[in-house]
Structure 1
């Protein structure tokens, strides 16, 4: 069968690639065309657009790039019609994907959505277009099934979280050998995960790196985003005791003592590696003020949302300062605080279900297509 997948971020590229691999195991004639990244291309997908050319952060940034976004939408529609897929699989990225889904449904294409838009956080009104335009929804967070089915009477499949597969299937690294291989010394590592977009990275690292001098018994390593080149990070690693590691975030987390993490999927990845973390976020003032008025959540990190409590500290906007970051990093390096966090992390993993999200989703998609 012919599959057209659309992902707009690094996490979507990872989960899309694993889904493609799972589909290939049960469909020997699978053909993939995709919007995503290097991982989806490596999974034998014909890459149409790379996510690094699609990522626009914040309300104001979207407005400034509206012309490019509209051009991408027009191009995507034409590309789908030329390819004539048996199904379109949307992976998160709702601002773009829901527009394509509306058009695709009208054109008679089958529409499946893997990794739900976070309409439980904001834009809950999107449930109307999801009902109308999406044939099947596969959710990865336990509370999403209740949200869709009990609150909105829209049946969905809870398939577990694909990060569990991605993390458990990776090869283990030896901490000391890994440090030596990268030219680091033997001190414990604090990982810095500043995000994936240039604007975001610059803003986050400015504050994250301000505490380096206060923790000389540790070495700090920036997790370079797959969408950025090493040259972009050069100004940030001029400080002593700061290193850069490109495209090996999981290996970095596996040997880290603690982490400073920009809010997003990375907070969940860090938790699944059982690494104590401080969650950080700072956007443009206008974007933040708008978001504050439309997002109805107690927490911004997935860890706290799933556990429904503040297991990890969140430093948002003005709270994300050098002084507070130093205090919270000191706290998560304390043995008692770390033990408490580890217990919360184990509860989190239980709530997310076991392994097999990609295989389960692939099987459900294939069965749905085979039945029609």
Structure 2
């Protein structure tokens, strides 16, 4: 069968590559044409557009790139018509993908969506397009099943690919001594700092995180460096005593007694690894500030961890609550001997149970191939 897959970002390229591997396992003669990146190509797809050509971040970037976006939409539509796939599969990237989904459905193509748009956080109106133009939606967050059910739309939770990524990276047993030697750090307890992946986030979060060093001198504070952000950017915030850990976040978290983490996917990764944490977020002005404000208004919690558990198991210090006093108090509470640590670890086990087993991409692929074969 023929598959047309659209992923418009780096994360989509990763998820897409795993999905393609699963599809080829269930359908060895599959032909796959895709918008994606190097990982999807390595997995067996014929890439027609690299995500680096299509990614547009930020409100003003979108405005300035309207002509480019329209050109990409037009090209995608004509390419689908020419390729005539048995199914069009969308991976996240809802602004672009839902437009193509409308076109694909209206032209008689079957449509699957892998990794549901986060309409529970913003742009809930997109449910109309999803119900109308998507034949099957695959979710990686368990609470989304009930959310979509409230709109009379049945979706399929297939697990979360983070479980696979974490297992793959932590499948080797590494002693702290070996980790310390590799990164040339001291042999003393660790607090991990994950200040985000964007410069604006790092600018607002890292300085406050680093102020905790004087309050907890028995620990060394190690900073997880974001991919794509040069070391020079961090130098305005850190001293020679601070150490950046590059491309090794999971091992850093594994060896840390606690962590201060920018609210987002990193908080869920930290929880699945089992490291007690405080989730924080603060930006002022601009679209990010508006978005986080809207999320807090629309849902009870900002972190995926608490949303999945439907209760606050990790403390969220957002915007005005992200203060020196509150951060010090909450960090102390989750470190060894802290009043919240044991309960947090117990809740992490329940979270892991709710998330299910590894193999999300394989299950999604098997379901897709089975559904397609049933209609051929």
TM-score by length of 1: 0.88
**Equivalence for 1:354:** 357
Shift of 1:160: 1.8
Aligned ranges for residues 255-274 of structure 1 at < 5 Å? Answer: 255-274=255-274
Shift of 1:13: 3.5
SS of equivalent to 1:108? coil
8 Å contact from structure 1 (residues 7, 51) kept in 2: no
Aligned ranges for residues 73-222 of structure 1 at < 5 Å? Answer: 73-79=70-76, 81-82=78-79, 84=83, 85-149=85-149, 151-170=150-169, 171-174=171-174, 175-222=176-223
Shift of 1:293: 4.8
d(CA) in 1 for partners of 2:301 and 2:38? 32
Q: Which runs of 5+ in 1 are unaligned?
A: none
Instruction: Pick the aligned partner of 2:69 from 63, 68, 72.
Output: 72
Q: 174-183 vs 284-293, which deviates more?
A: 284-293
The number of residue pairs the alignment matches comes to: 366
d(CA) in 2 for partners of 1:344 and 1:324? 22
Shift of 1:351: 1.2
SS of equivalent to 1:311? coil
8 Å contact from structure 1 (residues 55, 197) kept in 2: no
Aligned ranges for residues 217-366 of structure 1 at < 5 Å? Answer: 217-226=218-227, 228-235=228-235, 238-285=238-285, 287=287, 288-289=289-290, 291-293=292-294, 295-335=297-337, 336-366=339-369
When Rg is computed on C-alpha atoms for both structures, the one with the higher figure is: 2
8 Å contact from structure 2 (residues 10, 51) kept in 1: no
Superimposed CA distance per residue, residues 28-79 of structure 1 (whole angstroms, 9 cap, x where no aligned partner): 23444444455434434455333697262xxxx3144323265235325414
TM-score by length of 2: 0.87
d(CA) in 2 for partners of 1:65 and 1:139? 27
Q: Which runs of 5+ in 2 are unaligned?
A: none
CA pair 347-54 structure 1, distance change in 2 beyond 3 A? same
RMSD of aligned C-alpha atoms?
A: 2.6
